Amino acid sequence: MKDLPTRQQRQRQHLATADMATQAIRAGTMSGVEQEHNDAIYATSSFVYGSAEEAAACFGGQQEGNIYSRFTNPTVRVFEQRMAAMEGGERAVAASSGMGALTSIFLGHLKQGDHIVSSCSIFGSIIGLFDNVLAKLGITTTYVSPTDIKAWKDALQDNTKMLFLESPSNPLGEVGDIKKLALLAHSCDALLVVDNCFCTPILQNPLSMGADIVMHSATKYIDGQGRCVGGVVIGSNTLMEPVFAFLRTAGTTMSPFNAWVFLNGLETLSLRMQAHCQSALRLATWLEAQPQVERVYYTGLPSHAQHALAQQQQRWFGGVVSFEVVGDKSVAWRCIDNTQLMSITGNFGDAKSTITHPATTTHGKMTPEARSLAGIKDNLIRVSVGLEAYDDIEADLAQALTQL
């Protein structure tokens, strides 16, 4: 009689065509000798072997097996496999932070003399990485508007090896055309890398639109409760090997405990993102009607310049709303200080609603010229809409605005 597939094999077959919400809970899951139901934390620095021959085979790559938790750990591997399944990639590589993930991409794939074309509307620390770290290594960067395809094309050079896009962007929610940028990148034999933090795999899958590499700061929505710092990179086996090689040597790796926290976060990601998106759309719509508000930035609003493109690329519109108050920085600070429920912090993607002043926090290290190019004004406020009752979130901002 032909051997029947094991239960684990049957589950893998089922998951191959399962919904994203199911993959977020089940993909990559494995049970150990104790047959545990929840994913285990393998809190160990190293692993033992049955013989010197087996150890040599594992270290030499002739036999699969765990070697050292800096680059092979079962808990981290489950997280990587789950993220790869959700993003539709062949392989994922987990890192110690979102910035660690980006550094692993850039230093894994680029060398002295290479050139990057990047959106100017990106997280402030990434600009610091480009201008203060990569520039010292002879890797140059040109910044362009994320929405201007002609500007991207005009910025290409003979040595351009990578295009970098954050879409939607932080904090203004600008949306780049991923399909067009992928075609542009491939026309000059370059890679398109997309930061998918604002959307998560639940809302958007850049690889399916032609992007070569997608990355996340797992610190944000993947965790969902502001507990741990981590990052992850997803792509083909070929493109992930240089990323893994850098990470293995440099040590920018994820801890087993953080991977376990992120795995548990993924189990509720689909439900959480639906709730974040629903409340964010209501809040953005309400803010547009407030006399103290000059402008609202949210891709779900018909007034947003890239609303139609966001509808094409995303399933929903995300949980971050930014708005400009009538006035200057002092008015923006007063509005933030007037809030009673929201947490004043630079993080986003938390179950708790957060509020911040981007020009002096998340993008404070940028030069005034760079902030101006990115459209980040002194009267701009960013709100990460949490999972509290919507009426409480709106009431908090209402009393804060009324006092201005």
Q: What is the pLDDT of residues 222-231, one digit of tens each?
A: 999 999 999 9
Q: Hey, what CATH topology would domain 270-402 get?
A: Aspartate Aminotransferase, domain 1 (3.90.1150)
SS3 338: helix
For the chain, percent of residues with pLDDT exceeding 70: 96
Structure-model confidence comparison of residues 71 and 298, the more confident one: 298
Residues 344 and 321: their CA atoms lie apart, in Å, by: 15
Q: Which of these ranges, 6-10, 112-116, 123-127, 143-147, has the smallest mean pLDDT?
A: 6-10
φ, ψ dihedrals at 67, nearest 5°: -120, -60
Q: What does the angle CA 283 – CA 287 – CA 293 come to, to the nearest 5 degrees? A: 150
Nearest to 28 by CA among 86, 92, 87, 82: 82
Residues 328 and 320: their CA atoms lie apart, in Å, by: 21
CA atoms within 13 A on the CB side of 324: 13
- How confident is the model at residue 373, as a pLDDT? 84
7-266 is classed CATH 3.40.1500.10: no
Fold match, 7-266 / 270-402: no
Whether 16 shows a pLDDT value over 80: the answer reads no
Contacts of 63 (CB under 8 A, 6+ apart): 54, 57
**pLDDT classification of 214: cutoffs 50, 70, 90:** very high
- How confident is the model at residue 230, as a pLDDT? 97
| Dihedral sign for Cα atoms in the order 34, 37, 43, 47 | positive
| Dihedral sign for Cα atoms in the order 341, 357, 382, 358 | negative
Domain boundaries, the chain: 7-266, 270-402
Q: To which residue do tokens 């850049």 refer?
A: 206
Q: Dihedral of the CA atoms 25, 246, 145, 331 (nearest 10)?
A: 70
* Longest CA pairwise span in the chain (Å): 78
Residues 151 and 143: their CA atoms lie apart, in Å, by: 9
